[in-house]
């Protein structure tokens, strides 16, 4: 294996030469450390050697946790260890490579790295292997498989209590993520039994606290509170002076609030507030004030709510607690709205929206930073893959050259053998010829005297025959020479014809290419021009649609034609207002994103209903929705359409609440108010248009909503006179309205049969 490591070091030099990184000294340091770790690995390693290898890899991974160059080094060493069949060292390396990838949140890559080494992991690393595998599976939502791996860690941990504790926390997390709270509660109780036996106070505090949260999630509030008190006692036993102990009071207060016992909730929060101030835990202090503001708002004690909200706002703004700040602006908007201070409510709601936008930008920057790190790691992995592919290609080419050389050598040996065989055969023929000559000489000597004359005559005949043969041979050679000359001439003519044909074809090809080239240019220009026209038409359609989303069609057309829209008086318009009662309390239990998502669901449905009933949406403020009928095109049935739309709003909210109840969430209670009368409508703004309406009719419609009854449709006398023949209405009598005196109102029960 030493040869492998020195070859890796040689490749490290290549890496350093080819990379153009800003911090070359850091790269050289990394290469040096990697070189040192490689040299500490040895063939036939003992258990102690393997443990030392693991510790060295651990230090390297955590020291250079964000170095993409480390990825290439680890992958390449893995490749070399595999080729040298050093499976134990490879398993150690792959485990720590998995840790490195998991730290970069590349959980799928982590699982791919861990997959092939399960059988080769050294015994001391087996619990850690299954723990890492279980965490990675949980992160990709494979909770059942995650538990299988984590339970293996639990059973194989032996006397390693810390790794068993880590596994048990992850197992409980998988149950919680699946909302299997009953099984989570059973599991935490088993864990507490084990913790009692090893007496670890810190872990017992965490286990009891998470058990309480499981009880709360399972709506078992009466079980959660004693458990939190037990957690408090354990924490007090460990460190009585730690002000963080009082965080448990906050959790108990939240439970009492959910149970509707607000007085107890306020008591616990006030108990927690003083030590939090003393410990200067400003974030916790701000959260407590925020919860108190929400409780007092629900109790309609707006002055107390405003006081606590101001404390929260001061701390959150000064110390940049953005999420708490956003929630504070939302609560402030709702308090102002409840106190009829609409300008201040709008101002605070805009601050809430801008803070949410700033938070989303920060989250986006964090995500981009994470993606960049993940990209660097993946880049290292891909460069390694390319490097290995090149190396394997070179090995293949060398193997091909070796086989070709072997084949050429074999062919050469065969030719030599054939040549030697021919030489031997030729020598045998020469010997046979010599023997025949000797026999012929003996025969001639024997019959020389008797056949001399005859032989001379025969020799003459042979000479004549030979001369004839030679003449024939010469004639044949002359004929062959003539044929060869004729063939050469024919070949030259054929070559000239072929060259001419080739020249003609080349000219034809060039002419065709030029024609195709110019045709392509004409076609591309035509296509580009056509695309440009389509894009211009599409952009115009988008801008028109955007304008129609902001303004009514008639008003939008007027602005497009004349550059402005004049205010208009309308004699009879039905104005409809809605809002959700107790919205602040509801929103406290959800994240800002969840709040906006649910509001978007409801308001989108309201838009559909309004459009169906020829109503024009004017605006939304927080959880409030405003629309009007009888404009911009006047009509005589706008009061009937407005009441019909209000009843459909109630139906849509009822369906929404059915879904809320199925999921165990609180219902949203809708209030609606309608008034009919004259208004002024027009566009305000120069750069940013907004369509709005004004007049006493609008103010009275708003009061009709705020003095309405939950999940009922409240209308004024003006609207009642226009719809009484079409709808069943119940007389409410006179209702005292701020700044307007006593106003007669009615509840719409439904459509008349």
What is the β-pairing status of strands 624-629 and 615-621? Answer: antiparallel
Distance CA(740)–CA(734), nearest Å, equals 12
Position 524 scores a pLDDT of: 63
Give the residue-averaged pLDDT of 475-485.
52
Residue 8 is predicted with a pLDDT of 35
Q: Convert 548-580 into a string of H (helix), E (strand) and C (coil).
A: HHHCCHHHHHHHHHHCCCCCEEEEEEEEEEEEE
Q: Is pLDDT at 514 greater than 80 in this prediction?
A: no
Mean pLDDT along residues 127-155: 91
Distance between CA 340 and CA 407 in Å, rounded? 98
Give the pLDDT of residue 157. Answer: 86
Question: Smallest Cα–Cα separation from 92: which of 74, 109, 76, 104?
Answer: 74
CA distances to 132, 155, 167, 321, 470 from 123, in Å: 15, 13, 17, 47, 96
Which tokens go with 389? 């592919």
Most confident range, picked from 52-56, 270-274, 556-560: 270-274
Per the model's pLDDT, the better-predicted residue between 505 and 288 turns out to be 288
How confident is the model at residue 16, as a pLDDT? 38
Q: How confident is the model at residue 674 (pLDDT cuts 50, 70, 90)?
A: very high
pLDDT exceeds cutoff 70 at 289 = yes
List the structure tokens of 163.
């790794």
Please return the burial class of 78, using the count of CB atoms within 10 Å of its CB with bins 0-12, 13-18 and 19+: buried
pLDDT tens, position by position, 157-176: 888 899 999 999 999 999 99
Percent above pLDDT 70 for the chain: 63
Residue 697 structure tokens? 């009719």
- Of 131, 142, 143, 148, the closest CA to residue 174 belongs to 143
- 502 is written with which tokens? 């080739």
Considering the domain 566-751, what is its CATH architecture?
2-Layer Sandwich (3.30)
Q: What is the DSSP letter of 749?
A: E
Instruction: Grade residue 258 by pLDDT with cuts at 50, 70 and 90.
Output: confident
Mean pLDDT calculated for residue range 439-452: 57
- What pLDDT does 257 receive? 86
Nearby residues of 674 by Cβ (< 8 Å), 6 or more positions away? 574, 575, 576, 577, 639, 642, 643, 646, 701, 704, 713, 714, 715, 716, 719
- Label each residue of 269-313 as H, E or C: HHHHHHHHHHHCCHHHHHHHHHHHHHHHHHCCCHHHHHHHHHHHH
Q: Check whether 387 has a pLDDT greater than 70.
A: no
Three-state DSSP state, 691: strand
Q: Of 109, 124, 123, 47, whose CA–CA distance to 78 is shortest?
A: 109
Is the per-residue pLDDT at 440 higher than 60?
Answer: no
What pLDDT was estimated at residue 607? 93
Greater pLDDT, 151 or 72: 151
| 183: pLDDT strictly greater than 60 | yes
Mean pLDDT for 355-383 is 72
Query: In the structure encoding, which two tokens stand for residue 634, read together?
Result: 């006047």
H/E stretch holding 684: strand 669-684
Distance between CA atoms of 177 and 169, rounded to whole angstroms? 12
Q: Within its chain, how far is the Cα of 29 from the centroid? A: 34
Q: Which residue has the higher pLDDT, 598 or 548?
A: 598
Written as six digits, the tokens of 702 are 């708003």
Coil/strand/helix, residue 22:
coil
For the chain, what is the mean pLDDT? 76
Q: What is the mean pLDDT of residues 537-547?
A: 56
Which pairing describes strands 741-751 and 624-629: parallel, antiparallel, or unpaired?
unpaired
Q: Which two tokens stand for residue 391?
A: 């190396």
Q: What is the pLDDT of residue 17?
A: 41
- Scored b (16 or more CB within 10 A) or e, 229-246 reads ebbbebbeeeeeeebebb
Residue range 328-352: mean pLDDT, rounded: 88
Nearest one of 292, 195, 279, 206 to 250, comparing CA atoms? 292
List all residues 6 or more positions away from 363 whose beta carbon is below 8 Å from its beta carbon.
Answer: none
Rounded Cα distance, 590 and 648, in Å: 27
The fraction of the chain above a pLDDT of 90, given in percent, is 21
Q: What is the reported pLDDT for 704?
A: 92
Given a contact cutoff of 8 angstroms between Cβ atoms, the answer to whether 221 and 258 are in contact is yes
Nearest partner of 64 among 527, 520, 380, judged by Cα = 380
d(Cα 703, Cα 707) in Å, to the nearest integer? 6
Q: Residues 203-257: pLDDT tens digits? A: 988 998 899 899 988 988 889 888 888 888 888 787 777 767 778 888 888 888 8
| pLDDT at 450 > cutoff 70 | no
| Per-residue confidence (pLDDT) for residue 587, from 0 to 100 | 80
Q: For residue 452, is pLDDT > 50? A: yes
pLDDT at residue 188, as a whole number: 92
pLDDT digits (tens, 9 = 90+) for 687-716: 556 788 888 899 999 999 989 999 999 999
CA-based nearest residue to 246, from 226, 269, 214: 269
- Alpha carbon 431 to its chain centroid, in Å, reads 91
Distance, C-alpha 276 to centroid of its chain: 38
Tell me what pLDDT residue 465 has. Answer: 44
Q: What is the pLDDT of residues 92-123, one digit of tens each?
A: 878 888 888 888 777 788 888 888 888 888 88
What is residue 682's DSSP assignment? E
What Cα–Cα distance (Å) separates residue 456 from each residue in 37, 258, 574, 714?
102, 145, 151, 155
For the cut 50, the answer to whether the pLDDT of residue 417 exceeds it is yes
- 618-665 pLDDT, tens digit per residue, is 888 888 999 999 988 899 999 999 999 999 999 999 999 999 888 888
pLDDT confidence tier of residue 382, bands split at 50, 70 and 90: low
Instruction: Report the pLDDT value the prediction gives residue 658, as an integer from 0 to 100.
Output: 92
What's the confidence (pLDDT) of residue 458?
53
CA 319 to chain centre: 31
Residue ranges covered by each domain of the chain: 122-178, 458-550, 566-751
Q: Token pair for residue 41?
A: 């690995």
Whether 42 shows a pLDDT value over 50: the answer reads no
Checking if the pLDDT of 6 tops 70, the result is: no
Helix (H) or strand (E) holding 73: helix 68-83
By the 10 Å C-beta count (0-12 exposed, 13-18 middle, 19+ buried), 399 is classed as exposed
Instruction: Check whether 342 has a pLDDT greater than 60.
Output: yes
Q: What pLDDT band is residue 324 in, cutting at 50, 70 and 90?
A: confident
Which band of pLDDT confidence, cut at 50, 70 and 90, is reported for residue 401?
low
- How far, in Å, are 41, 48, 56, 82 from residue 44 at the CA level? 10, 12, 18, 15
384 — pLDDT class (breaks 50, 70, 90):
low
- Beta strand pairing status for 669-684 and 568-581? antiparallel
Q: What is the pLDDT of residue 585?
A: 80
**Residue 470 reports pLDDT greater than 50:** no
């Amino acid at each position: 294996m030493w040869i492998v490591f020195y070859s890796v070091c040689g490749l490290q030099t290549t890496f350093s030469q080819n990379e153009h990184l800003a911090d070359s000294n850091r790269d050289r340091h990394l290469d040096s450390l990697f070189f040192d770790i490689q040299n500490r690995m040895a063939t036939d390693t003992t258990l102690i050697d393997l443990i030392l290898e693991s510790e060295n890899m651990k230090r390297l991974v955590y020291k250079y946790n964000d170095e993409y160059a480390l990825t290439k080094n680890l992958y390449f060493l893995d490749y070399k260890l595999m080729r040298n069949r050093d499976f134990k060292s490879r398993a150690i390396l792959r485990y720590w490579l998995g840790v490195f990838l998991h730290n970069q949140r590349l959980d799928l890559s982590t699982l791919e790295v861990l997959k092939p080494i399960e059988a080769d992991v050294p015994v001391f690393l087996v619990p850690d292997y299954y723990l890492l595998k279980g965490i990675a599976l949980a992160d990709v939502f494979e909770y059942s498989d995650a538990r299988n791996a984590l339970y293996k860690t639990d059973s194989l941990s032996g006397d390693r209590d810390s790794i068993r504790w880590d596994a048990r926390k992850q197992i409980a997390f998988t149950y919680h993520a699946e909302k299997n709270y009953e099984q989570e509660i059973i599991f935490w109780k088993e864990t507490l039994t084990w913790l009692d036996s090893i007496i670890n106070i810190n872990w017992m505090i965490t286990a009891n606290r998470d058990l309480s949260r499981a009880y709360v999630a399972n709506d078992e509030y009466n079980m959660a509170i004693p458990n939190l008190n037990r957690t408090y006692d354990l924490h007090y036993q460990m460190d009585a002076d730690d002000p963080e102990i009082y965080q448990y009071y906050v959790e108990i207060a939240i439970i009492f609030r959910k149970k509707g016992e607000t007085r107890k909730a306020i008591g616990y929060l006030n108990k927690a507030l003083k030590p939090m101030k003393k410990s200067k835990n400003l974030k916790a202090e701000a959260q407590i004030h925020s919860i108190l503001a929400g409780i007092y708002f629900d109790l309609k004690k707006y002055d107390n709510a405003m006081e606590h909200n101001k404390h929260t706002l001061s701390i959150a703004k000064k110390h940049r607690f953005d999420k708490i700040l956003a929630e504070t602006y939302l609560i402030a908007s709702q308090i102002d709205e409840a106190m009829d201070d609409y300008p201040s409510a709008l101002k605070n709601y805009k601050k809430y929206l801008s803070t949410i936008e700033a938070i989303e930008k920060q989250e986006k920057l964090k995500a981009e930073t994470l993606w960049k790190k993940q990209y660097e790691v993946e880049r290292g992995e891909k460069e390694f893959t390319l490097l290995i592919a090149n190396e394997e290609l070179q090995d293949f080419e060398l193997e091909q050259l070796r086989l070709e050389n072997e084949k050429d050598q074999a062919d050469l040996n065969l030719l030599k053998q054939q040549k030697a065989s021919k030489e031997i055969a030729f020598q045998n023929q020469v010997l046979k010829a010599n023997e025949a000559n000797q026999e012929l000489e003996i025969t001639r000597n024997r019959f020389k005297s008797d056949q001399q004359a005859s032989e001379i005559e025969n020799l003459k005949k042979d000479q004549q025959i030979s001369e004839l043969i030679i003449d024939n041979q010469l004639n044949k050679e002359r004929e062959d020479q003539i044929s060869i000359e004729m063939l050469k001439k024919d070949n030259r003519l054929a070559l000239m014809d072929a060259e001419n044909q080739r020249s003609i074809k080349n000219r034809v090809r060039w002419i065709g290419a030029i024609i195709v080239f110019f045709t392509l240019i004409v076609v591309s220009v035509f296509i580009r021009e056509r695309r440009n026209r389509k894009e211009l038409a599409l952009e115009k359609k988008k801008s028109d649609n955007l304008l129609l989303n902001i303004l009514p069609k008639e008003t939008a057309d007027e602005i497009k034609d004349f550059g402005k829209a004049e205010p208009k008086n309308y004699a009879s318009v039905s104005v409809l207002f809605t809002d959700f009662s107790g919205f602040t309390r509801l929103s406290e239990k959800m994240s800002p994103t969840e709040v906006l998502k649910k509001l978007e669901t409801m308001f989108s449905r309201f838009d559909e209903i309004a459009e169906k009933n020829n109503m024009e949406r004017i605006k939304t403020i927080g959880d409030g929705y405003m629309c009007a009928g009888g404009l911009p095109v006047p009509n005589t049935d706008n009061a009937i359409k407005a009441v019909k739309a209000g009843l459909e709003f109630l139906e849509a909210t009822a369906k929404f609440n059915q879904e809320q109840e199925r999921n165990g969430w609180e219902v949203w209670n809708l209030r609606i108010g309608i008034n009919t009368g004259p208004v002024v409508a027009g566009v305000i703004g120069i750069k940013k248009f907004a369509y709005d309406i004004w007049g006493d009719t609008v103010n009275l419609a708003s009061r009709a909503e705020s003095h309405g009854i939950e999940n009922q449709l409240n209308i004024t006398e003006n609207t009642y006179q226009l719809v009484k023949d079409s709808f069943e209405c119940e007389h409410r009598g006179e209702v005292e309205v701020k700044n307007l005196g006593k106003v007669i109102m009615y509840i719409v029960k439904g459509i008349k049969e």
